[in-house]
A and B are shown apart, each in its own frame.
Chain A
Amino acid sequence: MRRLITASTLAAAMLLCAGTRTGAETPLDKYEALLQEKRAQIRENELLQREAEFAATKSPYILFYLKEGKLEFRVRGRAFKSYTFSPITLDERGRRPADPEAVWKAIGKSLTVIEVQGAHPELIPQDPNTPENAGELYADPNQLASQTGVAAVRSDAGLLGVDVPTDYYVKFAEDVVFHIRTPKTYTFREKAADRLSDVAESMRATLSGLWSRKEIEVAARPRLELYMTTDADTAKYLHYSLLPGEKILGVPPPPPPILLVASSSKAANASGGKARPAAR
Chain B
Amino acid sequence: MEEPPLQPEAPPSPPQRAPSLAAKVAKACILMLLAIVLACAGLIALQWSRGEIRVAGAPERIQVPSDARGVETALATLDKEVKKLKTTNQKLRQRIRSFNPRGLYLVIDTGANRLYMMKDEAVLRDALVSTGSGVRLSDPDKPRSWVFDTPRGEFSIHRKVNDPVWTKPDWAFIEAGEGMPKMFDERLEEGVLGDYAMDLGDGYLIHGTLFERALGLHVTHGCVRVGAKDLEAIFKSVGVGTKVYII
Q: Which residues of A contact B (CB under 8 A)?
A: 27-28, 30-31, 34-35, 37-38, 41-42, 44-45, 48-49, 51-52, 55-56, 58-60, 73-78, 80-81, 83, 99, 101-102, 119-123, 125-128, 153, 157-162, 164, 202-203, 205-206, 236-238, 240-241, 243, 246, 256-265, 267-269, 272-276, 278
CB neighbours (8 Å) of A27 from chain B are 68, 71-72, 75
Closest B residue to A234 by beta carbon equals B111
Query: When the two chains form their complex, are residues B154 and A263 in contact, meaning their CB atoms are under 8 A apart?
Result: no
5 tightest A-B contacts by CB? A268-B65, A237-B111, A273-B73, A48-B92, A41-B85
Chain A to chain B contacts (Cβ below 8 Å), 17 pairs? A35-B78, A48-B89, A48-B92, A73-B247, A74-B247, A76-B245, A102-B56, A120-B134, A120-B147, A125-B176, A128-B176, A161-B133, A161-B218, A241-B247, A259-B61, A262-B64, A275-B63
Which secondary structure characterizes the binding site on chain A?
Answer: mixed
Closest B residue to A210 by beta carbon equals B46
- A to B contact number (C-beta, < 8 Å): 233
Query: When the two chains form their complex, are residues A276 and B62 in contact, meaning their CB atoms are under 8 A apart?
Result: yes
A124 to B68, CA, bound (A): 78
Given contacts A27-B68, A125-B174, contact A159 B92 (CB under 8 A): no
A139 to B65, CA, bound (A): 75
Given contacts A41-B89, A161-B133, A237-B111, contact A76 B72 (CB under 8 A): no
Query: When the two chains form their complex, are residues A161 and B178 in contact, meaning their CB atoms are under 8 A apart?
Result: no
Query: When the two chains form their complex, are residues B152 and A59 in contact, meaning their CB atoms are under 8 A apart?
Result: yes
**Shortest distance between the CB of B128 and any CB in chain A (Å):** 14
Given contacts A27-B68, A41-B89, contact A237 B112 (CB under 8 A): yes
**Shortest distance between the CB of A186 and any CB in chain B (Å):** 24
Closest A residue to B149 by beta carbon equals A243
Total chain B interface residues with beta-carbon distance under 8 A: 75
A59 to B154, CA, bound (A): 7
- B153 on the A face (CB < 8 A): yes
Given contacts A34-B75, A52-B92, contact A157 B219 (CB under 8 A): yes
Query: When the two chains form their complex, are residues B60 and A48 in contact, meaning their CB atoms are under 8 A apart?
Result: no
CB neighbours (8 Å) of A34 from chain B are 75, 78-79, 82
Q: Which residues of B contact A (CB under 8 A)?
A: 43, 46-47, 52, 56-68, 70-75, 77-79, 81-82, 85-86, 88-89, 92-93, 95-97, 99-101, 107, 109-112, 131, 133-138, 140, 147-149, 152-155, 174-178, 211, 214, 217-221, 245-247
CB neighbours (8 Å) of A257 from chain B are 57, 59-60
Closest B residue to A245 by beta carbon equals B152
**Shortest distance between the CB of B36 and any CB in chain A (Å):** 13
Query: When the two chains form their complex, are residues A80 and B109 in contact, meaning their CB atoms are under 8 A apart?
Result: yes
Given contacts A268-B70, A274-B77, contact A121 B136 (CB under 8 A): yes
CB neighbours (8 Å) of A259 from chain B are 59-62
CB neighbours (8 Å) of B89 from chain A are 41, 44-45, 48
Query: When the two chains form their complex, are residues B177 and A128 in contact, meaning their CB atoms are under 8 A apart?
Result: yes
